[in-house]
Structure 1
Amino acid sequence: MAKNWVYQEYLSPFAAAAIPSSTSRPTPSGLSSRATRMASGTSDLVSPQPGGQHRLLPSAESGDAATPRTAGEQRENWQPLVILAHLVEAELERKTQCDAGIAHSHFKILALLAGADRHTMGLTRLGRALRFHKSRLSHALRSLEAAGLLRREDTPEKGRAYQAVLTRRGLDLVERVLPLQDVFARDVVLSGLTATEIAQLRTLAEKIIVNLDADRSGQVLRRGPASS
């Protein structure tokens, strides 16, 4: 099975997007009204701008005219990204519950394992990739193990370490559901975007992922390594 775009270790959300739809398809009714509000800047999730939005921000002496000068301008630049991430995740949750019968957060674990060597990952690496706290990961693994979708076992290395292994049943589920998510990405999330825009979106998403990974690494270094 080829590794799927959504579930590489750092979960790049737009990496498979270079699959432009060959034919125009109507947007599902469940998303059309929200998509319209998003396009017009009137999404339900847009919060009113608080007072003080014109407070000047510290700015570099680069002379870049595009650099936001106020808190309000800065918020307007990144708020659509927050709304986008929320709506995509919400729709993936709905679709995964419908198509797979499990939470999308649980499905991410299965999909990561499906793309891993021997369909196996250490629990520390798995939790780090998904940004899951130990208790959240343990709860998800118990649920998936009870459903026969994965199993937990000791690692071959010495020491108290465990790994998750995808079962045949879990792999079958991933191979059935991921193509449905590919179609959702192509026909809904990326509908109306040109191949050039999709490539630009991927490039920007990858840059933001690098920023978040760097920030996360810095936090870990400041706190020190987590106990295993």
Structure 2
Amino acid sequence: MAEPQWLNEDELRAWYAFVAAGALINRRLDQQLKEDAGITHLQYEILVRLNAAKDRELRMSELASALLNSKSGLTYQITQLEKAGLVARRSCASDVRAVYAVLTDAGREMLEQAAPDHVALVRRLLIDVLTPGQLAAVAEGLGEVTRRIQEQESEAGAAR
């Protein structure tokens, strides 16, 4: 086995900054949404994705993929949102295996109430902290990381 290529000081600094910022931002967003709306950050993202979808519904497998979440993890979250009356499920007449998550009117109202404070916190924690150049570099760099990982996962899935 080859010797690992250890991170140099600059690389380590970037890695630690990424891990810390991601954890702190997610924790603050989760806390704010729980206090203000009674939902988690992931549940908020589910509502956002459903609201943006045609007819405010998505196939569960498509939603899990969009959220970079497992199907079982998404099923749990949808169950919680369904209990709260924010999401409903519907089956597909043409494919008995397909299940759709559908945003309810109550879910849309919840999203409309939660969104302004959520977006303000996202701005305060990240967007307004960075210069336009830093923001572009973060978006480009992390976008490339995401693209490569998804490409590798897709290739690994095709090989199975």
**TM-score band, normalised by the shorter chain?**
0.7 to 0.9
* Equivalent AA in structure 1 for residue 95 of structure 2: K
Kindly tell me: are residues 147 and 56 of structure 1, through their superposed partners in 2, closer, same or farther at Cα, counting changes over 3 Å? Answer: closer
Match of 2:26 in 1: 89
Q: Provide TM-score, normalisation by structure 2.
A: 0.85
Higher mean displacement: 158-167 or 115-124: 158-167
**2:137 is matched by which residue type in structure 1?**
Q
Determine which structure has more spread, i.e. the larger CA radius of gyration.
Answer: 1
Percent identity reads 25
Which amino acid letter does the alignment assign opposite residue 209 of structure 1? T
CA RMSD, 1 decimal: 2.1
Give the aligned residue type for 1:80. Answer: A
Structure-1-length-normalised TM-score: 0.62
Q: Does 1:71 align with 2:7?
A: yes
Matches within 5 A, 1:1-228: 57=5, 70-73=6-9, 74-222=11-159, 224=160
Over 3 Å counting, the alpha-carbon distance change for 1:127 and 1:118 in structure 2 is same
Q: For 1:151, what is the secondary structure of its paired residue? A: strand
Q: Is the 8 A contact 2:25 2:125 kept in 1?
A: no
Inter-partner Cα distance in structure 2 for 1:82 and 1:208: 14
d(CA) in 1 for partners of 2:155 and 2:22? 23
| Equivalent position SS for 1:131 | coil
Q: Which runs of structure 1 show a deviation greater than 4 angstroms over 4 or more consecutive aligned residues? A: none
Letter in 2 for 1:90: R
Residue deviations 1:157-202 (CA, integer Å, cap 9, x gap) = 2332110110011011112212222211222323342223323322
Secondary structure in 2 matching 1:91: helix
Q: CA deviation at 1:75?
A: 3.1
Post-superposition offset of 1:101: 0.4
The Cα offsets for residues 46-90 of structure 1, whole Å up to 9 and x where unpaired, read as xxxxxxxxx773xxxxxxxxxxxx434443332321222111111
Unaligned runs of 5+ in 2: none
Q: 1:211–1:166: structure 2 CA closer, same or farther, 3 Å change rule? A: same
Instruction: Give me the whole-angstrom Cα distance separating, in 1, the residues matched to 2:102 and 2:131.
Output: 39
Displacement after TM superposition at 1:93 (Å): 0.7
Provide the rounded CA distance (Å) in 1 between the counterparts of 2:148 and 2:15. 14
- RCO greater where, 1 or 2, for CA within 8 Å and sep 6 or more? 1
Look up the SS of the partner of 1:75 in the other structure: helix
Gaps of 5+ in 1: 1-54, 58-69
Distance 1:208 1:138, change over 3 A: same
1:71 partner SS:
coil
